[in-house]
Chain A
Amino acid sequence: MNGNNFNFSKIKDLLKGIKGLESKLPSKADKKYFEQLEGRIMLKIKDAEVLVACPEVKESLVDFIEGNIPANKKVSIKKHLESCNTCFSEYMITKTVMEDAEHVHVTEACFEELSEKINNEISLCETAQDHIANEYTGDPVPWKIKKHIETCQECQKTVMVTKSIIENLNRLSVPMPNEKFFEEQLHKIDRAIEFSHSSKMERHKEVRGYFTGIMDTLRVTLLQPYAAISISAMVALLIIGGKFYSSKDNIEEKQINLSDLINRANTVTSINEENGLRVTQIKEGIQDPSEDERLQLKTTGSAKCDPVK
């Protein structure tokens, strides 16, 4: 505010301009008079700068009583309390309560208990608010939470908001076309079903038609003598050819197996013969047995056969 640059002539005009005020102005409203007026106005403005409203005073009462407040604000609150009865009575109540509270002994445990209670209440409130929608799902709400919802103002507010949401959701709707649209849609569905029916039947007919055509062609072709002879000859050739190839394979296989067996038998016989001759020769003392043969003869227990003994 630019309080020092007062325009006297403007104030003079302003005051004179106010209806009925002109007559109240002294006859000698000279420069001195207006200087005095300026001084008074400036004082009022200074007061107005520190003037505070009731809500601000009420809010600052505790700080005011405890003295935790800037000096200029302290003066303005003091002035306000002198002029405002409501704020003054509130000040007196707050002051009394604070003085009484000084005599109450609060332990650390008491503070902790209180803090825990507050925290529990906050978490219970959060849980309870999530359970409020259970009313609309038919799910049960635990007794403790139900009791909390009934007594908690915040939860009651949530109950009301949820109720309002559900009520208003019920008033919303999808933009629906008119009845004529649904009537036409019904006919379209009817036609689509008919079409799918008829196309299915047509497909059946088509497939049947193909088969009939093929059979007719075959019948006509087979009835021709040259075609019948040719096809019969081809079929006969195929059958004979097939049989021939399969029998040839069998014979070759059998032959291989037989020759293999004969070879094996011959080998076994020659080995046996060699072994028999050698055993006889050993027994008769014509040949000396090897170390292995001596051991073998020993284990079989044939003393007679043991040429060593």
Chain B
Amino acid sequence: MFEPGSTPRDPKLIDLELVKQVQNGNKTAFNILVRAHQRGVYAIVFSMVKDHDTADDVVQDTFVKAYKHIDSFEAKSSFKSWLYSIAINTAKNVLKSDSLREMVDFEKVVLHVTPRMSENIEEHELQIVLAEEIEKLPAKQKLALTLRIFDELPFKEIAEIMECPYDTAKANFRHAINSLRKHPRILDAA
């Protein structure tokens, strides 16, 4: 475990140590893992289901599933990408149910703009347009963009989460950027 006052370490290594402890029956270690990842998982799930309460349920399901199957985690990937895979698959399953499709308001803009004090009107306008246009991107491109920009995940992990080859993950991100760049509204605003 990490002692107080020790030098900052790679979060991935910390995660792996915590997972080992959970596998040995330490439930407190799992609480630390939840605290470390629940915001990230919530963000990615909310960007998919677009509803706060549903996102909350999916996040809970994700962590309960992760706890139940923690023994199957073999550290071939990082804990974060393993956890995100569970979250994305759980959200996908939830989205498949027709009842929810009726309930979720797909018109809602997922990414809202958080302008900074120093920002000018043009930048603010560009952010609004970007937030709207991201929603119109194909699902895979949007997911690759979200994981890269908002979660700052490496493409290797994005590929693992999206269950696709490494180059495909990169291509999805590249296409997303190029689509946004070529959009007349974004060109005008930029």
- Does A292 lie at the interface of the complex (its beta carbon under 8 Å from any beta carbon of B)? no
Tell me whether A182 and B181 are in contact in the complex, defined as CB-CB below 8 angstroms, given that A174-B46, A193-B27 are known contacts. no
Tell me whether A185 and B173 are in contact in the complex, defined as CB-CB below 8 angstroms, given that A174-B47, A193-B67 are known contacts. no
**CB-nearest residue of chain A to B176:** A133
Q: A161 and B149: CB pair below 8 A?
A: no
| Distance, CA A186 to CA B38, complexed state (A) | 8
Q: B170 and A171: CB pair below 8 A?
A: no
Q: B115 and A171: CB pair below 8 A?
A: yes
Q: CB within 8 A of A185: which of B59, B145, B178?
A: B59
Comparing B8-16, B85-93, B97-105, B126-134, the segment that makes contact with chain A is B126-134
- Does B112 lie at the interface of the complex (its beta carbon under 8 Å from any beta carbon of A)? yes
| Distance, CA A130 to CA B111, complexed state (A) | 26
Q: A185 and B177: CB pair below 8 A?
A: no
Q: A174 and B150: CB pair below 8 A?
A: yes
- Does A230 lie at the interface of the complex (its beta carbon under 8 Å from any beta carbon of B)? no
Q: CB within 8 A of A168: which of B63, B130, B148?
A: B130
Q: B126 and A164: CB pair below 8 A?
A: yes
Q: B111 and A173: CB pair below 8 A?
A: yes
**CB-nearest residue of chain A to B38:** A182
- Does A136 lie at the interface of the complex (its beta carbon under 8 Å from any beta carbon of B)? yes
Q: B112 and A175: CB pair below 8 A?
A: yes
Tell me which residues across on chain B come within 8 A of A158, comparing CB atoms.
Answer: 181
Report the interface size for chain A: residues with CB under 8 A from the other chain: 36
Q: A161 and B127: CB pair below 8 A?
A: no
| Distance, CA A172 to CA B181, complexed state (A) | 16
| Distance, CA A138 to CA B156, complexed state (A) | 12
Tell me which residues across on chain A come within 8 A of B67, comparing CB atoms.
Answer: 193
**CB-nearest residue of chain B to A171:** B127
Q: A186 and B31: CB pair below 8 A?
A: yes
How close is B40's CB to chain A, nearest CB, in angstroms?
10
- Does B180 lie at the interface of the complex (its beta carbon under 8 Å from any beta carbon of A)? yes
| Distance, CA A77 to CA B42, complexed state (A) | 68
Tell me whether A172 and B130 are in contact in the complex, defined as CB-CB below 8 angstroms, given that A161-B181, A165-B181, A192-B64 are known contacts. yes
Q: A168 and B126: CB pair below 8 A?
A: yes
Residues 49-92 of chain B, each 1 if its beta carbon lies under 8 Å from chain A, else 0? 00010001001100110011000000000000000000000000
**CB-nearest residue of chain B to A138:** B155
| Distance, CA A139 to CA B177, complexed state (A) | 14
Q: B43 and A161: CB pair below 8 A?
A: no
Q: A171 and B113: CB pair below 8 A?
A: yes
Q: A189 and B60: CB pair below 8 A?
A: yes
Tell me whether A176 and B42 are in contact in the complex, defined as CB-CB below 8 angstroms, given that A130-B178, A165-B177, A166-B177 are known contacts. yes
Q: A172 and B111: CB pair below 8 A?
A: yes
| Distance, CA A134 to CA B52, complexed state (A) | 35
- Does A190 lie at the interface of the complex (its beta carbon under 8 Å from any beta carbon of B)? yes
Residues 129-169 of chain B, each 1 if its beta carbon lies under 8 Å from chain A, else 0? 01100100000000001001110000100000000000000
Tell me which residues across on chain A come within 8 A of B35, comparing CB atoms.
Answer: 182, 186
Q: CB within 8 A of A174: which of B27, B43, B155?
A: B43
| Distance, CA A290 to CA B39, complexed state (A) | 107
How close is B61's CB to chain A, nearest CB, in angstroms?
8
How close is A157's CB to chain B, nearest CB, in angstroms?
9
- Does B123 lie at the interface of the complex (its beta carbon under 8 Å from any beta carbon of A)? yes
Interface residues of A in 166-223 (CB under 8 A from B): 166, 168-177, 181-182, 185-186, 188-190, 192-193, 196
| Distance, CA A61 to CA B163, complexed state (A) | 62
Q: A168 and B127: CB pair below 8 A?
A: yes
A-B contact pairs, 28 of them (CB 8 A): A130-B178, A133-B173, A133-B174, A136-B148, A136-B173, A137-B170, A138-B155, A161-B181, A161-B187, A165-B126, A166-B149, A168-B127, A170-B149, A171-B123, A172-B111, A172-B112, A172-B134, A172-B149, A173-B111, A174-B46, A175-B112, A176-B39, A176-B42, A182-B42, A185-B59, A188-B60, A189-B38, A192-B63
Partner-A contacts on B (CB < 8 A): 27, 30-31, 34-35, 38-39, 42-43, 46-47, 52, 56, 59-60, 63-64, 67-68, 110-116, 119, 123, 126-127, 130-131, 134, 145, 148-150, 155, 170, 173-174, 177-178, 180-181, 186-187, 190
- 20 new A-B contacts at CB < 8 Å, known A129-B178, A172-B127, A173-B43: A134-B174, A137-B173, A139-B170, A139-B174, A158-B181, A162-B177, A165-B126, A166-B177, A169-B134, A171-B114, A172-B130, A173-B111, A173-B112, A176-B39, A177-B42, A185-B38, A185-B42, A189-B60, A193-B63, A196-B64
